[in-house]
Structure 1
Amino acid sequence: MSDAYITRIAKFLPNEPVSNDEMEAYLGYINGKPSKSKALVLRNNGIKSRYYALQKDGTATHTNAEMAALAVTRLFEKNTSEIQDVDLLSCATSSPDQLMPSHGSMVHGYLKDAGSIEVVSPSGVCCAGMHAFKYAYMSVKLGEKQKAVACASERLSPVLRSDQFEDEVQQLLKLEKNPYLAFEKDFLRWMLSDGAGAFLVESEPNTSGISLKIDWIEGCSYANEQEACMYMGADKLEDGSLKSYKDFKSEQVQEHSVFSIKQDVKLLGEKIVKLGFAKLKDILVRKGISMDEVSYFLPHLSSYFFEGKIEDFCNENGMPISKEKWYTNLVTKGNVGSASIYMMLEEVFYSGALKKGEKILLAVPESSRFSYMFCMLTVC
């Protein structure tokens, strides 16, 4: 089998960063009142700025597929004709612009200079970006592809806007109930960000400068054991099952904000760290790897609240990670879902700090139904 390397990384962030104070100017006030939970959530998640692919009046500035295509295009800025040599496009998102065609096909549609190539569209949430990456990695490693692009992108800002919840709030008012949005829906409004990232994966490293050899990528799901924790296009029933938007009447979809993105916060706190990082320990033991060998640890965090939880778990389970090795850009980029790990690695890759032989560990937890992806890279 061939080796596989990340040889280039690019990202695209729409418009200017949005500060905490500006958020409701973009997302709006529900029932004309400031959110009760905003200050609490922001204090815990530690995010100071994020990006939205929309203007303050809600007008879209970019589609999801367009942002992904712009990130891909930036991989080939120095030689624009090189995009014609790409033989695979693997595109992930949790927030496609439409149900059909596939997200990957829509991204390919923006890449007018690319050839007629294989396109795949892994679905999911945060782990989807790693699934897209793994498909590209395996295709190159098998020798079936020579120049593969993996990308991940998110555009969730439109479903975070207040007008998405107005019918639900008006229904609550009619019923003389508290018209404030339920915490499980309001929680993620202050967490999520838009943007895209892309990797170029090749069978040979760069002839000058650094590359990242992909040592392995492993993942697991606990959906057979755990109920859904984050969901969209469905409502959670008392027995923990999900009722699809397809099974609601059209007026109920609006009245219950079924297409909002929701988080079971209690379940998140109980499960997200201990399930995934117990699996990481198993992987490291099986591969005979010590955390001492890792030079950079890049965990995808939805909130800095979990940073200490991960550190405590790793310390208590014999795999301590020195804080000098940690890197995250959550504070400045927000949670960009499946694209977050791409943006983090892009910053490290072009930092000028990497030395050949150093190892980078990527960790991506996904709370939707508790899935995890881990990856080891070696600087070469």
Structure 2
Amino acid sequence: MYNRQYASITAIGGYLPQQVRTNHDLEQACATSDEWIVKRTGIKERRILDKDLATSDMAVAAIRNMVAEYKRNISDIDAILVATSTPDMLMPATANLIAEKLGLTNIWAFDVNAACSGFLYALDLGASLVETNRYRNVVVVGADNISSFVNIEDRSTNILFGDGAGVVWLEPTQEEGIMDAFLQSNGIGKEYLNIEAGGSLYPFNGDVIVENERKYIRQDGKVVFKQAIQSMSDACKHVLSRNNLTVEDVRWLVPHQANKRIIDAVGKEINIEEGKTLSNIEYLGNTIAATIPLCIWENVKKLNKGDLVMLTAFGAGFSWGASLLRWMIE
């Protein structure tokens, strides 16, 4: 009988910048209020990376946190997959820069850009590398320095986004680890959530970018809100059904931390029991690809070995999906 080899999360780490941007700070920058922000998003604070640092710096700090906490050897890492929409530069990949900063000179390292769904995409890719025996120690990173692309005067976006990095270490196991993933995408959402500048369509060329504000993240909140709830809920139901499971089997739901109202609506839509949804949006906001690993990292003491954990996300593109895993850390 064939015994499937699984990839399991065996270590986790995170990093948060020290600088805090509060709702009071935003009141000084644009026409908004703490009451309005909390009511609409559930966010009170978000972390902002120092101007002289970049996404790779947060990722390196998160990896160092992980290896110190779980007593791992950085030199054992075979591959690094980085989910990010805010690379240090267009090329080389941020994963390459992370490898250099960690002193890893012969390693497979590359970036994945699926916006806020990026960590789920990278986690599935990383698990596949382990399951096929091509690599044994794969580090998956979710990291974004999104504050660099936020117009501080735009209250439709400045209230939402913050910076951070979360990482997990994947290894092979005969026990259930990363069980399944249902991931989807299309291009119909490109006009509703995007950062247009910097690519080949709108390259950086001076004043045109500034005038059109194409260098900033832009979103149509109403469209994204509705689509996020439907897409994440449907993905959760699909991945559970495909594995002959029900929501009652799930011990923890870890949704993308985009908006407290979205998180609550998804929980209600899939009918998960109150108290089973993990969240940290109140003090971190939306850290794009970092939200899910950071949320697990901050709540790791609540998780017990064997817990069934469901992850779900929605992001620009649109991209969305859900993943199932058994938590294998004691």
By the TM > 0.5 criterion, same fold?
yes
Alpha-carbon contact 1:88-1:145 (below 8 Å) kept = yes
Q: CA deviation at 1:138?
A: 0.8
Q: CA deviation at 1:253?
A: 1.1
Which of 262, 272, 278 is the matching residue for 2:234? 278
Instruction: Confirm or deny that 1:219 pairs with 2:183.
Output: yes
Instruction: Confirm or deny that 1:197 pairs with 2:166.
Output: yes
Q: CA deviation at 1:16?
A: 4.2
Q: CA deviation at 1:37?
A: 7.6
User: Given the two structures, how large is their TM-score scaled by the length of structure 1?
Assistant: 0.78
Deviations 1:182-210 (A, max 9, x none): xxx531111111111110101149xxxxx
Q: Which amino acid aligns with 1:118?
A: W
Q: Secondary structure at the match of 1:140?
A: helix
Q: Which residue of 2 aligns with 1:53?
A: 49
Q: Which residue of 2 aligns with 1:109?
A: 100
Deviations 1:121-150 (A, max 9, x none): 111211112222222111111111111101
CA distance in 2, matches of 1:68, 1:226: 28
CA distance in 2, matches of 1:263, 1:37: 20
Instruction: Confirm or deny that 1:159 pairs with 2:123.
Output: no
Which of 258, 262, 268 is the matching residue for 1:302? 258
Matches within 5 A, 1:33-52: 34-36=30-32, 40-52=36-48
Instruction: Confirm or deny that 1:142 pairs with 2:97.
Output: no
Q: CA deviation at 1:371?
A: 1.4
Which of 85, 105, 110 is the matching residue for 2:76? 85
Instruction: Confirm or deny that 1:321 pairs with 2:272.
Output: yes
Deviations 1:260-295 (A, max 9, x none): 100012311332211332233233222211001011
Alpha-carbon contact 1:357-1:378 (below 8 Å) kept = yes
Alpha-carbon contact 1:90-1:132 (below 8 Å) kept = yes
Q: CA deviation at 1:304?
A: 1.0
Aligned residues: 325
Q: CA deviation at 1:24?
A: 6.2
Q: Which residue of 2 aligns with 1:376?
A: 324
Q: Which amino acid aligns with 2:5?
A: S
Q: Secondary structure at the match of 2:91?
A: coil
Q: Which amino acid aligns with 1:71?
A: A
Q: CA deviation at 1:43?
A: 2.8
User: Given the two structures, how large is their TM-score scaled by the length of structure 2?
Assistant: 0.89
Alpha-carbon contact 1:92-1:104 (below 8 Å) kept = no
Q: CA deviation at 1:17?
A: 3.4
Q: Which residue of 1 aligns with 2:219?
A: 263
Residues 139 and 194 of structure 1, relative CA distance in 2, 3 Å threshold: same
Instruction: Confirm or deny that 1:99 pairs with 2:90.
Output: yes
Residue range with higher mean Cα deviation, 257-266 or 12-21: 12-21
CA distance in 1, matches of 2:108, 2:98: 12
CA distance in 2, matches of 1:261, 1:78: 35
CA distance in 1, matches of 2:69, 2:218: 41
Q: Which residue of 2 aligns with 1:187?
A: 156
Larger radius of gyration: 1
CA distance in 2, matches of 1:361, 1:78: 24
Provide structure 2 residue ranges, at least 5 long, that are not aligned to the other structure.
Answer: none
Q: Which residue of 1 aligns with 2:10?
A: 7
Q: Secondary structure at the match of 2:85?
A: coil
Aligned alpha-carbon RMSD (Å): 2.6
Provide structure 1 residue ranges, at least 5 long, that are not aligned to the other structure.
Answer: 55-59, 163-180, 206-210, 236-241, 315-319
Q: Secondary structure at the match of 2:299?
A: helix
CA distance in 2, matches of 1:123, 1:226: 15
Deviations 1:3-36 (A, max 9, x none): 21101100011114332213467xxx3xxxx335
CA distance in 2, matches of 1:251, 1:18: 28
